[in-house]
Structure 1
Amino acid sequence: MRPADPDRIIAAARGWLGTPYHDQASLRGVGCDCLGLARGVWREVVGEEPFPIQPYSRDWGETGTREVLAEGARRMMIEVSVADAGPGALVLFRMRTGAIAKHVGILTAPDRFIHAYERLGVIEEPLTCAWRRRIAFAFLFPSI
């Protein structure tokens, strides 16, 4: 499996900027959450989603033994080390110590990313040290 062109991923993600936040939605310009943004970029760049997404909790502090989000990404994306993640990579964030990874974003530069954030919608912002230290997994979108 070859990775998709990072410029295509970034352009698609930027097309979602300003989309309002809406839990478990994935409609550009209408509403999405962080996973919905990733799903929408997938549809625009890769194609049809390979499997349905089951309802999920909004609890960023959720604990457990399974990294469900990472397991799902491994089924359809190319896993890379966090250190090797560059622009165009999908990154999964562990928002609290001991919690499972429950937030996603797309890197747009070594120091910037796009994500959907409650109350703010889809935004591009600096990848600060606080955000960077929360990255738990990184994946590349596959090419079609």
Structure 2
Amino acid sequence: MSADDFNIAALARAWIGTPYLHQASCKGAGTDCLGLLRGIWREVYGQEPELIPPYTPDWSEPQQDERLLRAARAHLIEKPLAEMASSDVLVFRMRKGAVAKHLGIVGESGAVPTFIHAYSGHGVIENALSTPWKRRIAGCFAFPSTNFSGR
């Protein structure tokens, strides 16, 4: 089965209301932003592409290591932000000059774009992709259309 057989945005919306829980990835019980992507990945492909080691809230900051962007480039298809579409993955820098450490799934693109993400203190929500959020985007990625076997 491929990502083309799923509406990724609809899968992400099914997680709305899941409480925020650092390092978790269980729809309805708890998740963080990476856990949301991991859970959707499992729904689409059945197995995560790599084992995620434990991580702290400040992971990769002291080393200025773009770990999240590297992982996105390894497992997703990078595309220009101008081509952003529903179901794409957005990676964000939460502060100017900081490493990218947050991600979400595009809910709606076009004139009034939205994204679905797990946000500390709020859980999984759908937000307007407002100008302040747009300024934080570090990368836009699509799910691959086929599984990773043999890749």
Normalised by the length of structure 2, the TM-score is 0.86
Q: Within 2, Cα distance between the matches of 1:52 and 1:60? A: 16
Q: Which moves more between the two structures, 18-27 or 42-51? A: 42-51
- Is the 8 Å Cα contact of residues 61 and 99 (structure 2) preserved in structure 1? yes
Tell me, yes or no, if structure 1 residue 11 matches structure 2 residue 13.
no
Q: Residues 4-34 of structure 1, C-alpha deviation per residue, up to 9 Å, x if partnerless? A: 3396101110110100000000000000000
2:12 and 2:105 in contact (8 A); partners too? yes
Deviations 1:76-99 (A, max 9, x none): 111112222211110000111110
Q: Which amino acid aligns with 1:8?
A: N
> Under a length normalisation based on structure 1, what TM-score does the superposition of the two structures give?
0.90
In the TM superposition, what is the alpha-carbon distance from 1:104 to its structure 2 partner? 0.3
CA–CA separation in structure 1 for the residues paired with 2:93 and 2:103: 9
Unaligned stretches of 5+ residues in structure 2: 147-151
Residue identity in the other structure for 2:132 = A
Q: How many Å separate the matches in 2 of 1:6 and 1:60?
A: 34
Contact preservation (8 Å) 1:17, 1:122: yes
Partner of residue 27, structure 1: 26
Distance 2:103 2:74 in 1: 16
SS at match of 1:66: coil
Secondary structure in structure 2 of the residue aligned to 1:102: strand
Given the superposition, is the C-alpha separation of residues 60 and 6 from structure 1 closer, same or farther in structure 2, using an over 3 Å criterion?
farther
1:30-45 matched pairs, under 5 angstroms: 30-45=29-44
What is the number of equivalent residue pairs in this alignment?
142
Q: Which residue of 2 aligns with 1:117?
A: 119
Task: For residue 64 of structure 1, report the CA deviation from its aligned partner.
Answer: 4.1
Deviation at 1:73, TM superposition (A): 1.4
Cα separation, 2, equivalents of 1:50 and 1:98: 29
Q: What residue is the counterpart of 1:129 in the other structure? A: 131
1:99 corresponds to: 98
Per-residue CA deviation, residues 27-85 of structure 1 (Å, 9 max, x unaligned), is: 00000000000111111122210110122231389354431001111221111122222
The farther-off stretch of 124-133 and 76-85 is: 76-85
Of the structure 1 ranges 134-143 and 61-70, higher mean CA displacement relative to structure 2 is found in 61-70
Distance in structure 2 (CA, Å) of the matches to 1:70 and 1:13: 20
User: In terms of Rg, which structure is larger?
Assistant: 2
Counterpart amino acid of residue 89 in structure 2: L
Query: Contact 1:92/1:101 (CA < 8 Å) preserved in 2?
Result: yes
The AA in structure 1 aligned to 2:120 is E
Percent sequence identity is: 51
